[in-house]
Amino acid sequence: MSLLKVTSMTHKFGGLLAVSEYNLTIEPGQIVGLIGPNGAGKTTVFNLITGIYRPTAGRIEFNGQDVIGLAPNRIASLGLARTFQEMRLWRHMTVLEHVKMACYAKISYGLAGAFLQTPKRRRQEQEIEERAFASLKMFGVDQFASQLPVDLPYGAARRVEMARAAVTEPKLLFLDEPTVGMTPEEMMAMIEIIRDMHNKLKTAIFLIEHRLRVVTELCQRVQTLVFGQVIAEGNPEEIQNNPEVIKAYLGEEKVVA
Amino acid sequence: MHHSESTAIHPRGTLDFIRRFFANIPLLGWLAGALAAVILEQAVGTSLAHALGLPRIPVLFGFLIFLKQPALIPGALGYVLVSNILPVCIVAKIGAPLFNLLSRSLFRMPIVVTAVVHLAILYAIFHIWTDVSAYRLIMLKLMLISILLTLSLNVINGYMGEFSCSHPGFMALGAYAASLFTVGLFVNDRLFGEALLVSDFAVIFFPLGLIFAGLVSALGALIIAIPSFKTRGDYLAIISLAFTFIVKSFLENLEFLGGPRGLSGQPDWSSLPMVFIIVVLGVWIINNFVTSTMGKALNAVRDDEIAAEAMTVNTRKTKIIAFMFSAFWAGVAGGLFAHVIRFVNPSTFGIQKLAEVLAMVYFGGLNSVYGSIVGAVSISLLGEALRPLEILKWIIIPLLLILVMIFRPRGLISFKEFNIEKLLKPRG
């Protein structure tokens, strides 16, 4: 059984067809990439599958369960975590608090624990703190634990965001342009981090990227999205040599450059 | 102190010197100093006041005299110095080694014991201080209640980052619910007839009445929460403001609760120990909530709700629980308030009450227990101290608030976690 199966997913914003007849299958442990020019609808695909938007039509099955209409936090608790292009760290919370917060679904001390200092609360808070530290350590940012996001270097903030997503123990992790705004060296480091995490956690990854280099390094399979439609799908070499892709995607890159 | 010349002239240097001079005093020392001062005042205060040409003991650190009877200012200043400032500083500084020793041995015990000892001394100070005048007693009770009210509003406006205007409404619900409970059950009253329960220990039922008051308010909160938490934005501000007005007109039109004339005859159950214990308990529980990961979900919702949802936080449940929780404590505060004043009427819980509690929250500081305590205490004290200025008071307090907003937009002590161990630790 596939981990994620999206069938003919379509979404309209008013009259605008943002995503049209989109299909996707991800197997456990696979790394799949999604590329495409700006405004192609890549982030919309993420938002549709993670429950932020509800698709106009189509089916989404995660781990054998229909997830359309579920609240984003429910979908996340099922094991589908994500990061954001703009990171969305919480301004007034420390790095450690960020990662502890992502353990929210694992808390079972209830209101009694929230209002009173029950032993169960102390134990669970201790547990998630250890878990959070382990995750920060894995991404090499545990030394920032007591700092606020504004005080972090850019690369570290990206890692904190990944640590926050990874601590939910996802079966599938969505990464939205993890190397955006990075220098080539930082990009190579990020590729290593993702590879390392994939080896350790064995999660499947679905990755939006702008840079072909990242996709060719990491992905087994790549989709190209243009104006809400998948125009090509295959392994990285096939995609790179596909004339449609070169026209739509690389052509645009030339205009930008 | 290595540049002693500049310390003598420069105000910041002097301040720094004072801070360093008192740095080795633990909180226990300050409490002991204050205790010594209030005991001294109780023993010799009246004679001291007479000797300084004052008719009686200045009830509020001389503030009322400064503005009302300028001729007595030197006497009042002398009184405050001799009876308040000097005893506190001298006892605290001279006793510092002893208090640090005590503090250290207290600190080895569970933190609960340490906290209870400090609170007991604090209560003793309050008790002796208010013994001197009935005015002090009522002012202190109202101040403690406003701490609870301010902190409960801070949960929504600070920790959760929504703007709620419904606290006077919640307070009114609590005040009336608690009054209904006590007057209806325990008092022979013209509206509700004979007391249903008569007991010498009736006062032990008062906490039950307060819980009832809190639950009624929480129910009111649920009515607001369901429509307004579907989306973010200004909805809550508008709906909650409407709620305050609806509650007020509703109570004005309920004849069996006295209508606009209000409800009186509440038994005198908001005694100082009762108010003190309930407020301490309330602050403790609220602090527990906002420091738990479940409570911190409020901050996540405030700073980025979409990210909170993506990280498995049930944002809707979080918001509704927090709102009901906040309303619960506002209701408890209302119940206490009704039994301090021993009279409630709907017009107490209008726009002026809202302005007052909002001022306390924003003056003291958002997202902070310290801030709420500082805000409630300073606005209450200012309100009383400036009372002789009458209408000018309502110009000075807002002006101060504007100044705070200019220089510290989030309030005096914002975004600071209440750290009880740091507060109580020995300092030398």
Quick one: three-class SS letters along chain B? CCCHHHHHHCHHHHHHHHHHHHCCCCHHHHHHHHHHHHHHHHHHHHHHHHHCCCCCCCCCCCHHHHHHCHHHHHHHHHHHHHHHHHHHHHHHHHCHHHHHHHHHHHHHCCHHHHHHHHHHHHHHHHHHHHHCCHHHHHHHHHHHHHHHHHHHHHHHHHHHCCCCCCHHHHHHHHHHHHHHHHHHHHCCECCCECCCCCCCCHHHHHHHHHHHHHHHHHHHHHHHHHHHCCCCCCHHHHHHHHHHHHHHHHHHCCHHHCHHHCEECCCCCCCHHHHHHHHHHHHHHHHHHHHCHHHHHHHHHHHCHHHHHHCCCCHHHHHHHHHHHHHHHHHHHHHHHHHHHCEECHHHHCHHHHHHHHHHHHHHCCCCHHHHHHHHHHHHHHHHHCHHHHHHHHHHHHHHHHHHHHHCCCCCCCCCCCCHHHHHCCCC
B1 CB neighbour count, 10 Å cutoff: 9
At residue A253, the pLDDT reads 47
- Mean pLDDT in residue range B61-71: 82
* Least CB–CB distance from B311: residue in A102, A117, A121: A102
At residue A244, the pLDDT reads 86
A102 Cβ under 8 Å from any chain B Cβ: yes
Q: Which of A183, A188, A124, A191 has the alpha carbon at shortest distance from A162?
A: A191
What are B385-400's pLDDT values in tens digits?
Answer: 888 887 888 888 889 8
Is residue B331 exposed (0-12), middle (13-18) or buried (19+ Cβ within 10 Å)? buried
Low-confidence ranges of chain A (pLDDT < 70): 249-257
For residues A64 and A41, give the distance between their C-alpha atoms in angstroms, rounded to a whole number.
25
Domain ranges of chain A: 1-79+170-257, 89-167
Q: How far is B311 from chain A (nearest CA, A)?
A: 5
Q: How far is B204 from chain A (nearest CA, A)?
A: 22
B299 Cβ under 8 Å from any chain A Cβ: yes
Domain ranges of chain B: 4-130, 134-424
B312 Cβ under 8 Å from any chain A Cβ: yes
Is B310 in contact with A128 (Cβ distance < 8 A)?
no
Residues of chain A in contact with residue B311, where contact means CB-CB under 8 angstroms, are 73, 76, 81, 101-102, 104, 164-165, 168
Give percent of chain B above pLDDT 90.
65
Chain centroid to CA A85 = 9
Is B311 in contact with A168 (Cβ distance < 8 A)?
yes
Residues 350-379 of B with CB under 8 A from A: 367
Is B308 in contact with A50 (Cβ distance < 8 A)?
no
B313 Cβ under 8 Å from any chain A Cβ: yes
CATH topology for B134-424?
Answer: ABC transporter involved in vitamin B12 uptake, BtuC (1.10.3470)
Residues 320-339 of B with CB under 8 A from A: 321, 325
On average, the pLDDT of chain B sits at: 90
Is B312 in contact with A88 (Cβ distance < 8 A)?
no
CATH topology for A1-79+170-257?
Answer: Rossmann fold (3.40.50)
Tally A–B CB contacts below 8 A: 104
**Is 60 exceeded by the pLDDT of residue B20?**
yes
A70 Cβ under 8 Å from any chain B Cβ: no
Q: In degrees to the nearest 10, what's the CA dihedral of A161, A162, A168, A169?
A: 180
Is A73 in contact with B310 (Cβ distance < 8 A)?
yes
For residues B77 and B82, give the distance between their C-alpha atoms in angstroms, rounded to a whole number.
9
Give residue B118's pLDDT band: very low, low, confident or very high (50, 70, 90). very high
At residue B9, the pLDDT reads 57
At residue A249, the pLDDT reads 65
- Mean pLDDT in residue range B145-164: 96
A90 Cβ under 8 Å from any chain B Cβ: yes
Considering only residues A33 and B75, tell me which one the structure prediction assigns the higher pLDDT. Answer: A33
**Is 80 exceeded by the pLDDT of residue B367?**
yes
Gap between the terminal Cα atoms of chain A: 43
Contact A6, A49 (CB under 8 A): yes
At residue B11, the pLDDT reads 67
What are B186-239's pLDDT values in tens digits?
Answer: 887 766 777 777 767 777 889 999 999 999 999 999 999 988 887 667 889 999
Is B310 in contact with A114 (Cβ distance < 8 A)?
no
